[in-house]
Structure 1
Amino acid sequence: NVAEQLMTIAYENGVNLFDTAEVYSAGKAEIILGNIIKKKCLRRSSLVITTKLYWGGKAETERGLSRKHIIEGLKGSLQRLQLEYVDVVFANRPDSNTPMEEIVRAMTHIINHGMSMYWGTSRWSAMEIMEAYSVARQFNLIPPVCEQAEYHLFQRDKVEMQLPELYHKIGVGVVSWSPLACGIITGKYENGIPESSRASLKSYQWLKEKILSEDGRKQQAKLKELTHIAEKLSCTLPQLAIAWCLRNEGVSSVLLGTSNPAQLTENLGAIQVLPKITAHVASDIDKILGNRPQSKKDYHH
């Protein structure tokens, strides 16, 4: 079983956070994760298990961030995971149809009832997170502790510009996802779309279009240049990209999605690369990318 192999390699290499969602494979991902934890008798206290709620079942009442779906959805997740609680439950996207107070009250309820230790957000704007925090403070409820955000060499604005204010003001950390931009940053799309790749799948038509677009070609050219930096640091391009994400002060955790043991082992090697990314190397990377977000502070100089 590949999932079990991957989880064993990760755990033995010090990875303790495993993230899933009610929507992944319509709940199967949670079942598989729960089965492995049980089978391998992993100590629950040594693990950080997180899941995400939003798209549950087919019915209108089985999705969104209503109090009803947050409570019922998490109960369903816990059953599939065969766990008493998760460590963090994430709102998998904002829900404009539910009042913020209802969301924060429901999240507080599931924490107070021992179903989750903390709650966080995913794909929320800084303003939405701030609103949740204000509501929590106003009614003496529990504010969110982290935002799950996309962050990689080609997607920097939110994590480097909008969220830092939140880290400093309210102590929200970032759990980042897609450090390799759905595989684009591995360089495997350099000469088009390989048959075995994710972008060749029907459901990933959007990814294929993105790679073959004008922007996509420009990204491939930049990746070629970044490969030279990786070679100088004697690491691979994926390792460089992951280490680069880890380097950011606001990022508490970088989520990896892997499909085979060799890939996971390579990606975990990014930790050895981290100390090699000096300020000098980082500025070389910035020069190649040409997308460093301009912070407000720079305007006054």
Structure 2
Amino acid sequence: MEFRHLGRSGLRISEITYGNWLTHGSQVENDVAARCVRAALEAGITSFDTADVYANTVAEEVLGAALQGERRESLEIFTKVYWPTGPRGHNDSGLSRKHIMESVEGSLGRLRTDYVDLYQAHRYDHTTPLEETMQAFADVVRQGKALYIGVSEWTAEQIRAGQALARELGVHLISNQPQYSMLWRVVESDVVPACRELGVSQIVWSPIAQGVLTGKYRPGQAPPAGTRATDERGGADMIRRWMSDDVLTAVQRLRPVAEDAGLTMAQLAIAWVLRNENVASAIIGASRPEQVASNAAAAGVVLDAEIMRRVDDVVGSLAERDPALTTSPATR
């Protein structure tokens, strides 16, 4: 496993982060989830990403239980706040001081830890003053409940404003967690340059585009049974945008590119996002332990210029690049 600094901080995280969105507490049984976490640890992964909203808090509980007995100082645990959990009352979402302070306590309890290494705003809250949000985050750090703070899916302008306020309060944003893959490049034109300037790194989710870039889905064929595209509990909705025949046909043309690089298609996709120097880590999920070991092997892989050119030739105009697609809800 290779490690990279997160933003302009001294914190180093593993190039591959294990994440449990859409799996723990919902798609896989707890014993399988625990084996996936064990596989991550055995592969050298030290960074683990979750959020209070995943499986309505259950994902945090499963991760906390799976990490019990590990040396806490050897792990980097990330969680997030914004979306509603519990009874979904009028203050049970957003980035108000009340919601942040109550949510961090709940997350720490479920994760069975005194602190998280990184606490991130899961979206931007248009209904709460940014000053209130950043003051609450600064207080969470000063209270020792989080060591660092970051955001997820914020625009370049929102990250600039948040970083300016954070610095006034004596803290710094060090991370942004956006979607990023060969097929979804909306952060490249605005967010990444701003973050590079501000000392913020990307921890990217969905580097294999919900599994589409593994090549398991083929044009004109029904999705294989048991895959995310057949999961009506949420997975199918997330992957639907990539299931057109033109995208699936192009993905199949990536197969010889991966073979020539000596990689699986998933490894190629993960190595592709890691070639961006502003990306500190790529988040992988898994429903089976063997998936973790295989995908973690993308760490340290360097793709040469010819491979990168061939990827661009294949994907071409199918890649989404519109920065306006980085958005947060107008209301909670």
Normalised by the length of structure 1, the TM-score is: 0.90
The residue that corresponds to 1:147 in the other structure is 176
The residue that corresponds to 1:282 in the other structure is 308
* Counterparts in 2 of 1:206 and 1:37: CA distance versus 1, 3 Å: closer
State the alpha-carbon separation in 1 of the partners of residues 283 and 239 from structure 2.
22
Q: For residues 112-127 of structure 1, what are the structure 2 equivalents within 5 Å? A: 112-127=142-157
The residue that corresponds to 1:206 in the other structure is 237
Greater C-alpha Rg: 1
Is 1:267 aligned with 2:295? Answer: yes
| Structure 2: tracts of 5 or more residues without a match | 1-30, 322-332
Residues 159-196 of structure 1 show CA distances to partners (whole Å, capped at 9, x for unaligned) of x2212322332100000000111111112221222221
State the alpha-carbon separation in 1 of the partners of residues 262 and 67 from structure 2.
35
Q: Measure how far apart 1:33 and its partner are.
A: 1.3
Is 1:246 aligned with 2:270? Answer: no
* Counterparts in 2 of 1:218 and 1:89: CA distance versus 1, 3 Å: same
Q: 2:227 aligns with which of 197, 202, 209?
A: 197
Q: 2:257 aligns with which of 214, 226, 229?
A: 229
Q: Residue 18 of structure 1 contacts residue 49 of structure 1 at CA under 8 Å; is this kept in 2?
A: yes
RMSD (Å), alpha carbons: 1.7
Residues 126-177 of structure 1 show CA distances to partners (whole Å, capped at 9, x for unaligned) of 110111112223x33423111001011101131x221232233210000000
Q: Measure how far apart 1:209 and its partner are.
A: 4.0
The residue that corresponds to 1:5 in the other structure is 35
The residue that corresponds to 1:255 in the other structure is 283
State the alpha-carbon separation in 1 of the partners of residues 139 and 206 from structure 2.
31
Q: Which has the higher contact order (CA 8 A, sep 6+)?
A: 2
Q: 2:203 aligns with which of 154, 172, 175?
A: 175
State the alpha-carbon separation in 1 of the partners of residues 242 and 116 from structure 2.
36
Q: Which moved more, 1:86-95 or 1:7-16?
A: 7-16
Residues 71-130 of structure 1 show CA distances to partners (whole Å, capped at 9, x for unaligned) of 100000101111100000111111100111001000000000000001110011111011
Q: Measure how far apart 1:248 and its partner are.
A: 0.9
Q: Residue 138 of structure 2 contacts residue 169 of structure 2 at CA under 8 Å; is this kept in 1?
A: no
Q: Residue 115 of structure 2 contacts residue 147 of structure 2 at CA under 8 Å; is this kept in 1?
A: yes
* Counterparts in 2 of 1:193 and 1:88: CA distance versus 1, 3 Å: same
Q: Secondary structure of the residue that 1:150 maps to in structure 2? A: coil
Q: For residues 106-117 of structure 1, what are the structure 2 equivalents within 5 Å? A: 106-117=136-147
> Aligned partner of 2:259: which letter?
E
Is 1:83 aligned with 2:113? Answer: yes
* Counterparts in 2 of 1:203 and 1:32: CA distance versus 1, 3 Å: closer
Q: Which moved more, 1:102-111 or 1:6-15?
A: 6-15
Q: Secondary structure of the residue that 1:161 maps to in structure 2? A: coil
The residue that corresponds to 1:299 in the other structure is none
Q: Which moved more, 1:123-132 or 1:260-269?
A: 260-269
> Aligned partner of 1:210: which letter?
R
* Counterparts in 2 of 1:168 and 1:234: CA distance versus 1, 3 Å: closer
State the alpha-carbon separation in 1 of the partners of residues 239 and 206 from structure 2.
16
Q: Percent identity, aligned pairs only?
A: 35
State the alpha-carbon separation in 1 of the partners of residues 242 and 306 from structure 2.
30
Q: Measure how far apart 1:207 and its partner are.
A: 4.0
Q: Which moved more, 1:160-169 or 1:124-133?
A: 160-169
Whichever structure has more helix as a proportion of its residues is 1
The residue that corresponds to 2:76 in the other structure is 48
| Structure 1: tracts of 5 or more residues without a match | 295-301
Is 1:95 aligned with 2:125? Answer: yes
* Counterparts in 2 of 1:71 and 1:207: CA distance versus 1, 3 Å: closer
Residues 200-241 of structure 1 show CA distances to partners (whole Å, capped at 9, x for unaligned) of 1223453464244xxx21111111111011111222111111
- Kindly tell me the number of residue pairs found equivalent between the two proteins: 285
State the alpha-carbon separation in 2 of the partners of residues 208 and 134 from structure 1.
36
The residue that corresponds to 1:297 in the other structure is none
